[in-house]
Amino acid sequence: MSSHEPVSIRINGKRQLAKRDRLKARSELAASLDEAAIRYDEQSEKPHEVNVYERTYETKPARKRYSHFKPFLIAAASATVVGILFGFVMLNIISDLDQSQVSEPVSLSAPVTNVSEGTDDISSMSEENQREQTVSLSSFTFPSLAAYVVQVGIFSTEEQAKVIKTNLKEQGFSAFIWEKGGKYYTFAGLSSTEKGAEQTAQLLKTSGVETYVKEWKVAGMQKETTSSEEEWIKNGVHLFQEHVTTVQDQKELSDYQQWLKSRPDRLSKNGKDFYGTVKLLFTESNQSRIEAMFTFWKAYEQYLNG
């Protein structure tokens, strides 16, 4: 038996290799497995290559830096330009207003000019004199002015009142239209007493004119003005009270003309309006006494409420 042949032993009827032969067999098996693995590696196909697909994207040019500030910069520039133009226009307007105010009449609270005798025109004064002269205002209490009137009608429109006034004039009676509270009162007489007014009313009734006698009053009030204007106005009120007492005697109105001439050189705007209204009627030769008295009375109310 050769020393290279494997030795086998039967144990319990089963064939068993000797220990040294078992080790040899294991090593031979391991070598054969390694050889088979090498051959497999050489014969095996190369792995498939993975195709890589690329997708190209269109690239946009990068925005300029600070481009999102562009609208704000444009708006700021536009607002600046508009503001400059608006300021220039307003400056011209204010300049025009200042020039126009220089030429306007001076009010009571500012330096005033002299009023020439017999005219309402205000004479011009030097700027230096205007600065030196100032008017001191004080608060004065003006009295109420009341009398009894002969009312011949009250209407919602002035046209209706004028029709009655014309009809009375055709019959030889004077009348005055007094607007108050949106209504037009037509008066044909006045007196300081109710009895005196009733006499005038009876005369009208004999001519077929319906009348109504009642008290009519202009309430007094506090008003700021100069002491000279206050004295002049109150003198006129006193003169009215004297004439309304003797209205039936047809006293001459020359006293009013003298009173008009005594007006102060400086009058407020309301004082000038009052003077102009009264002067126009009391200087007319064909003006009736009753209408002139009512005109003064109404002008006094406008002066107080002005």
The position carrying tokens 């009341």 is 146
Give the tens place of pLDDT for each residue, 273-296: 999 998 887 766 566 888 888 999
At 16 the pLDDT is 55
Q: Which residues contact 142 (CB under 8 A, 6 or more apart)?
A: 220, 221, 222, 223, 230, 233, 234, 237, 304
The pLDDT of 92-113, averaged and rounded, is 50
Give the tens place of pLDDT for each residue, 142-188: 999 999 999 999 999 999 999 999 999 999 999 999 999 999 999 99
The pLDDT of 116-142, averaged and rounded, is 58
Mean of pLDDT over the chain: 76
| Higher per-residue confidence, 299 vs 9 | 299
Q: pLDDT at residue 193 above 90?
A: yes
Q: What is the dihedral of CA 89, 93, 95, 96, to 10 degrees?
A: 140
Return the ∠ at Cα 231 (arms to 226 and 228), rounded to 5°: 35
What sign does the dihedral 120-124-127-132 (CA atoms) show?
negative
At 195 the pLDDT is 93
> What would you measure as the largest C-alpha separation in the chain, in angstroms?
193
What CA–CA distances, in Å, run from 277 to 155, 176, 187? 24, 15, 19
Q: pLDDT at residue 234 above 80?
A: yes
CB atoms within 10 A of CB 22: 12
Q: Which residues contact 10 (CB under 8 A, 6 or more apart)?
A: 16
Give the tens place of pLDDT for each residue, 32-88: 666 666 665 555 555 555 555 555 555 555 555 556 667 777 877 777 877 787 777
pLDDT band at 17 (very low <50, low <70, confident <90, very high): low
Cα 274 from chain centroid? 31
Domains and CATH numbers, the chain: 141-305 (3.30.70.1070)
At 102 the pLDDT is 43
At 68 the pLDDT is 65
Rounded distance, CA 81 to CA 89, Å? Answer: 13
At 281 the pLDDT is 76
At 80 the pLDDT is 83
Q: pLDDT at residue 233 above 50?
A: yes
What sign does the dihedral 100-103-105-109 (CA atoms) show?
positive
Copy the structure tokens of residue 199.
């006499």
pLDDT band at 4 (very low <50, low <70, confident <90, very high): low
| Higher per-residue confidence, 267 vs 125 | 267
At 121 the pLDDT is 42
Copy the structure tokens of residue 73.
């910069």
At 84 the pLDDT is 83
At 120 the pLDDT is 44
Q: pLDDT at residue 251 above 60?
A: no
Q: pLDDT at residue 111 above 50?
A: no
